[in-house]
Amino acid sequence: MAPLTQYLLLLGMGITTAGLVWMLYLIKQSLGQTLDEPGKDIPAESGNLAPKPAWLRYHVHYYGYALLFLAFDMEMAYMYPWAVVYREVGILALLDMGVFLMILFLGLIYTWTQLGLKRQ
């Protein structure tokens, strides 16, 4: 694909995105003026006014969830570039990724055996 075509595509995407945003803004405008009401600023809590923000220290046992999230989040991040070169590299890429996933999967199994996936 010629560079110009690529830039045109990019421009088209930009215009479409801007158009979508503009449309949303127009729809919002068409719904009329919003009235400022104090009730809308408070989180819904079954009719109660939330007495305070949930801005608290977490128990350390949640670190397991954080680690697991991090592991699998990173896995996804590595898979994007891998997907780009997958066709070129072929079966080797599949094996490499298999090893990578297996290591992560072993981590998951280990966490499981340590009751890390149990809520309490």
Partner 1 sequence: METTMRYGARKGTMNFWRRWLAKAASQELVIFPVPGADLLRMYQSEPLHREAQLADSPKEANVLLVVGDLSAELTERAATVYAQMPRPRVLVMAGPEYLDPLPHPDVHVALEKDFLDTAMPAARECLRRYSWTEEAEPYRPEPLVSKIEEAGQQQGHMHGHGGHGSHDHGHEGHKDSEHTGDEHRHEEHNHSGLQHDETDKHKHDHQAHQHDSHSEHEGHRHHDHGEHDHGHEGHQHKGHNHGEEHQEDDHSQHEEHGHSHEGHDHGGPQHGDHEHDGHDHGPGFMSMIAMTKDLPRSPDGLPMEWSDVQFGPFHPGLPGGLRLSMKLDGDTVVKAEASQGLLGHNLPASVLNDPASLPEYLAAAHPMAPVTYRLLAQKALVNFSGKTPNSTLTLSEAVLLEKERITSHLNWLAVFGTALGSQWMRDQAVKHYHRFQDEAGDASRLSEFIGRIKKMPYLKLKLSTAGKHRVEMEDHNQGHEHEAHDHSGHGHNHGDHAGDEHHHAGHSHEEHKEHEHHEHGGYDHSKHSGHDHSDHEYSGHGGNEGHGHEDHSHQQGSHSGHEEHDEHHHHEHGGHAGHEGHDHCHGSGGGKDQDSGQLPEDMTGPAARAAGIEKDHRLEEPVYQQAGWTPVTAAGNNAWSRLMVRLDEMEQSLRFIARAGNDSGGASSQKIDIPSTGMGNGIAHIESPRGTVSLKFHIHEGKLAHMQLNTPSEALAGIIQHVTEQHELADALTAAASLDISPWEIHH
- Binding stretches for partner 1 (CB under 8 A): 30-62, 119-120
Nearest distance in Å: CB 64, partner 1: 13
Contacts of 107 (CB under 8 A, 6+ apart): 71
Nearer to partner 1, 57 or 87 (CB): 57
The span from the CA of 20 to the CA of 47, in Å, is 36
Nearest distance in Å: CB 118, partner 1: 10
Nearer to partner 1, 1 or 60 (CB): 60
Nearer to partner 1, 5 or 29 (CB): 29
The span from the CA of 10 to the CA of 15, in Å, is 9
- Alpha carbon of 64 to those of 37, 67, 120: distances in Å? 41, 5, 12
Nearest distance in Å: CB 46, partner 1: 5
